[in-house]
A and B are shown apart, each in its own frame.
Chain A
Amino acid sequence: MRIIKRDRKSKNPKNYEIIKERRNSHLPSEKQVNTDLSDKVEENLKKFCAFLKESSDMVFRKFKLGNNGIKCALLFVDGLVDKTVVNENILKPLMSGVIEFEIKEERKVQPEEAYEFVLNHAVYVGEMMEVDNLDEAMLRLLSGEVVLIIDGFRKLLVIGARGWSMRSISDPETEGVIRGAKEGFTETLRVNTALLRRKCRDPNMVIKTIRLGRRSKTDIAYIYIKGITNPVLLKEVEERLQSVDIDQIISSGHLEQLIQDNTMTPIPQIQATERPDKAISNLMEGRIIILVDNSPFALIIPTTFTQFFQSPEDYNERWIVTSFIRSLRWVASFLAVFTPAVYVAVLTYHPGLIPTRLALSIAATREGVPFPSIIEAFLMEITIELLRESGARLPTSIGQTIGIVGGIIIGDAAVNAGLTSPIMVIIVSLTAIASFVIPTYSAAIALRTMRFPFMILAAVLGLYGVIIGFILINIHLVSIKSFGIDFMTPQAPTLFQDLKDFVIRAPARKMRKRPLQAYPIDMIRMDMD
């Protein structure tokens, strides 16, 4: 059943087998050392030291176990482990607990049984595993686990005692809601998966982790619900993730660009969200969530164009109100792209289109303006983009000043100085405000970028140019895909069932089936009878 057409062309053309092989091969620095484990503590330590002794954050703690003096060593990275756990639950029982045990039992722990003894009696930590491979141990050590080497054994114990200072769960700033959960993803992958688990206790929710990045070895978790997510989609996602071969994954936004379908487009084909509730409801629609360690944004796969106009808030409010707000957002998206272009076109080519009195008053306000309307529009639009960009990178307190300086002073002064007409100021502010109504930042910024080519088209060909641009964008939108799913579903191809959650959001009781967009294998969401 090949429902989702796999687009071979858009994928990384490299052979997966070669990539896998290369990923498992050692980095240049590892090649100088024989990575086989020995049964001597010193030799094993030396092997770790070969890589790590120059780093100041490494802790190598040698000690002796019990009265027989079995040599042991504890390795961890300072700052990545919870010191209390290391001291109280690992070192304390190993050093004094063993001796107490020997006194009580009146026998000594023999070197041959040391490993079993430690495993069974001497460490008070839940998460523990044995590793017989230096690479694996090294990776775990550097991800914040504690490595215990015991003399006479060719295997290592890896004890989970991760604990570092992290940002606490806070309000998701980019996707605020009024009536909804106020928690957002953080930078730590485990916290993020826990946030999802807390919202869905379905044992079918699978959280799979792979490591990407030859050097950074970043944890990437992809999450789906078995029995809802389409296996074809899952396979596609897995293949694309495995085809990534890079030294470091910077963030989820970076990964997004490595696995997306089309590069030559301003439109994002994967949605990023900071909200666990949004992520979980997308999971329930048969989509796949990708979480990247160190990145507070989850990726939603596949994404369609309508999703950029949906906000979790929509499902918290009554359907009539929501439908109104949804239509407002669609209108806003048109305003954000077309207002300046239509203004330029109408003023330059078709002044007859506007009512005579308005035309006269526009002409009166433009009397002193020395530029043609296209230059005027470009000037003002670029100014507002400058204001937005400078405000975005500044601390909030200064950002407000920028708003005041830009909005009031430049706007008013530019009109008084005769550089621009007041109508143009209105048009530009309207565009800016409209573009901020769209709930998804990356989509809003894509739409904002588009209005510049539209303005040029309008200046060259008038309304005909604007409509040419409109058709062009529509052709582009219906051509692109997100993981094999047509980007413009449910408008084109029209899925009538999905139109319930399009401009109008149907009442919650009417949405009995999941949306078809991601082709879930289980369609029924609600049984009413």
Chain B
Amino acid sequence: MHIPHKGLTGFQVCAIVTLSVIGISVMFIPQRATHSSGVDGVLVTFIAGILSIVLAGMIILVSNQFPNKTIIEYSRQILGKHLGFMYDAIFVVYTLLASSYVLRGFADVIKIVLLPRTPLEVIMISMLLLILYCVQGGIAVIARICELFIIPILLVIFFTMFFNISEVELYRYRDTLSNGFDPILKGVTSVTISYLGYEILFFLIPFMYNKKKALISGLAGMISPIIVYTGLVFLSIGIIGALPTSELIYPTIHLARQIGVQFIERFDIFFIVFWILAVFTNLIVYIYMAAISLTRILHLRNYKPFISILIPVCYIIAILPQNVVQINLLADMVNYGGIFIVLSSVPLLALALLRKKGGRGSA
């Protein structure tokens, strides 16, 4: 008999991964892709996606070596006590910074598009209270929220993309690869950052019901972000042009605004409303990661009290940056941290296999 109650199902893992990847980056991806590599952005996005899938696979492979442990526990087993502790500390700091960054970026978009006269504090605090309530329910509630929201979110994004296709002007792509492969190499790093979010896979495996499905569902969760991102970059270049795209802050909103549905004058507001759901899932995943890694570092079981501690910290970090320069500083920290953590899966896997500390049997 099929018993989905005992843990996360494959579809839930897939939904969590998809939504934590799409989350906030869906707003910036065309800008990032075109900023560093211009017209080649489409190719770059696709290649970065493939790279991310590989990295996600690495993370799952490492975690599969220790099927009942999260990264916090097995990193010490692989790296030793002190190095492991440092690694875990980086993890906590990164997740906290990432959630603050997402929160700030989200609040900025809401302020610009939806509520120009509402203070940032109100937007952030209302969102954080909601997150506090949700994360209290644990990974089960997070997973169910994700699988509930993934369909409408993807539908709206695909709807936006579909109604823009007719506007694409193919001549805008004619410069593709005209500068050789240099811009591609340059762009891949910065676009790979946009795919961040699949670090959650470090934590999901121990909660899964059928651990054999981990690899396939984790990778399946990466497929729709690749389609969405590549599609959005393709459309932005085709409709807006590579150079203008790289100068817009939120090119995706611009795309959504293009759509003239008869009964909704400004489709971008409609799009933002659904995007809030995506950011919310993104945020609960990050806050949950921060809370659970902090708890596990301290060798405690109950992570719920930590959420109430982490949420004010997250708020303070998010509200601190005064201008775009400072926000970009925060973004850089998050990006380097994320890249470090995602790339660390490769040496971790190598070390785990070399030191033979893992192995399905012993863990």
A-side residues, CB < 8 A to B, are 3-5, 349-350, 352-356, 359, 461-468, 471-472, 474-475, 478-479, 486, 488, 491-496, 516, 519, 521, 523
Contact = CB atoms under 8 A, between A and B. Distances in A.
Contacts of B5: 3-5, 486, 493
17 contacts: A3-B1, A4-B5, A5-B5, A353-B265, A353-B270, A354-B265, A461-B118, A467-B273, A471-B276, A475-B133, A486-B144, A491-B148, A493-B144, A493-B147, A494-B9, A494-B147, A495-B4
B362 interface: no
A329 to B, nearest CB: 18
B114 A468 contact: no
A464 B110 contact: yes
Contacts of A523: 1
Contacts of A354: 263-265
Nearest to A478: B144
Contacts of A496: 11
A475 B138 CA distance: 11
A465 B5 CA distance: 32
B277 A467 contact: yes
A193 B114 CA distance: 57
Contacts of B134: 471, 475
Nearest 7 CB-CB pairings of A with B: A492-B144, A478-B144, A492-B148, A475-B134, A355-B265, A467-B276, A493-B4
Contacts of A464: 110, 114-115, 123, 126, 276
B172 interface: no
Given A3-B5, A493-B4, A355 B148 contact: no
B272 to A, nearest CB: 8
Interface in B91-150: 110, 114-115, 118, 122-123, 126-127, 130, 133-134, 137, 141, 143-145, 147-149
B115 A488 contact: no
Interface string B2-24: 11110001011000000000000
A3 B277 contact: no
Contact of A350 (B122, B123, B269): B269
B355 interface: no
Given A468-B126, A471-B280, A488-B144, A350 B114 contact: yes
Contacts of A478: 137, 141, 144-145, 148
Contacts of A465: 126
B126 A471 contact: no
Contacts of B126: 461, 464-465, 468
B213 interface: no
B266 interface: yes
Contacts of B9: 493-494
A349 B122 CA distance: 16
B323 interface: no
Contacts of A475: 130, 133-134, 137, 141, 145
Nearest to B275: A467
Contacts of A479: 137, 141
Given A467-B277, A492-B143, 9 more contacts: A4-B5, A349-B115, A350-B266, A353-B269, A461-B118, A471-B134, A478-B137, A486-B144, A493-B5
B302 interface: no
Contacts of B143: 492-493
Given A471-B130, A475-B134, A479-B141, A463 B4 contact: no
A173 B4 CA distance: 38
Interface of B: 1-5, 9, 11-12, 110, 114-115, 118, 122-123, 126-127, 130, 133-134, 137, 141, 143-145, 147-149, 262-266, 269-270, 273, 276-277, 280
Contacts of B4: 493, 495
A368 B221 CA distance: 54
Most buried by A among B2, B12, B265, B270: B265
B22 to A, nearest CB: 16
A352 B266 contact: yes
Nearest to A457: B126
B147 A491 contact: yes
B74 to A, nearest CB: 27
Contacts of B147: 491-494
Nearest to A496: B11
A491 B152 CA distance: 12
A471 B266 contact: no
Contacts of B141: 475, 478-479
A250 B118 CA distance: 50
A459 to B, nearest CB: 13
Most buried by B among A355, A472, A516: A355
Contacts of B133: 472, 475
A350 B123 CA distance: 16
Contacts of B144: 478, 486, 488, 492-493
Contacts of B1: 3, 519, 521, 523
A478 to B, nearest CB: 4
Contacts of A468: 126-127, 130
A466 to B, nearest CB: 8
B12 A353 contact: no
B148 A353 contact: no
B11 A353 contact: no
Nearest to A521: B1
Contact of B115 (A4, A5, A462): A462
Given A464-B114, A494-B9, A471 B277 contact: yes
Contacts of B114: 349-350, 462-464
Contacts of A521: 1
B110 A355 contact: no
Contacts of B270: 353
B355 to A, nearest CB: 37
A212 to B, nearest CB: 30
B262 to A, nearest CB: 7
Contact of A352 (B11, B123, B265): B265
Contacts of A461: 115, 118, 122, 126
A461 B107 CA distance: 13
Nearest to A230: B1
A87 to B, nearest CB: 57
A398 B101 CA distance: 61
B142 to A, nearest CB: 9
B273 A463 contact: yes
Contacts of A494: 9, 11-12, 147
Most buried by A among B5, B141, B276, B277: B5
Contacts of B2: 516
Contacts of B130: 468, 471-472, 475
A336 B144 CA distance: 24
B119 to A, nearest CB: 12
Contact of B145 (A4, A463, A474): A474
A398 to B, nearest CB: 40
A514 B144 CA distance: 23
A356 B140 CA distance: 44
A174 to B, nearest CB: 29
Given A461-B126, A494-B11, A356 B280 contact: no
A512 to B, nearest CB: 15
B338 to A, nearest CB: 25
